[in-house]
Amino acid sequence: MRVLLDTNAFIWMHSDPDRLGVHRELLERRDTVRLASAVVVWEIVIKHGLGRLDLPAPPAKWIPDKVAAGAMTPVAIELSHSLGVAALPLHHRDPFDRLLISQARAIGAHLLTADTAVSAYDVPVLLIE
């Protein structure tokens, strides 16, 4: 299974894996393809820069270390992902989440999130409860 992690899921995977609930086991399986989106990196960098997210190291070190430690595959933001946002209904207004939804649809991945609003979209969601 291909799993695209949203920002909270990415952070929890590396700092508090128990918060992932039943999805922790899925992420620990060798046959799960764990995807780290540039969208998540962008959001972490922004929140850290604004002082809204504490990290144990600067993002330029912490994020690549965690991507490597989690055997994650980076996913770039493609033009089609950005354009795909235009086709999404406005169930959710967060631009990061909307781009992640578009990305998950485009690459055929499940989106791992605790955000129940994402379930309103036509994308496979793994909801963290």
Instruction: Look at the chain and report how many structural domains it folds into.
Output: 1
Token look-up 């060798």 returns 30
The arithmetic mean of pLDDT across residues 41-61, rounded, is 97
Cβ count near 37 (within 10 Å): 28
Pairing of β 33-37 and β 110-113: unpaired
* Secondary structure string (H, E, C) spanning 29-65: CCCCEEEEEHHHHHHHHHHHHCCCCCCCCCHHHHHHH
pLDDT, position 22: 96
Structure tokens at 118: 């994402």
**3-state DSSP percent of the chain in helix, strand and coil, to 5:** 55, 15, 30
Using an 8 Å Cβ cutoff, are 39 and 9 in contact?
no
Under DSSP, is residue 73 helix (H, G, I), strand (E, B) or coil? strand
CATH number at residue 100: 3.40.50.1010
pLDDT at 114 over 90: yes
Amino acid at 14: H
The arithmetic mean of pLDDT across residues 70-94, rounded, is 96
Domain extent, residue 41, equals 2-127
Global pTM?
Answer: 0.95
pLDDT, position 92: 86
Token look-up 């929890």 returns 12
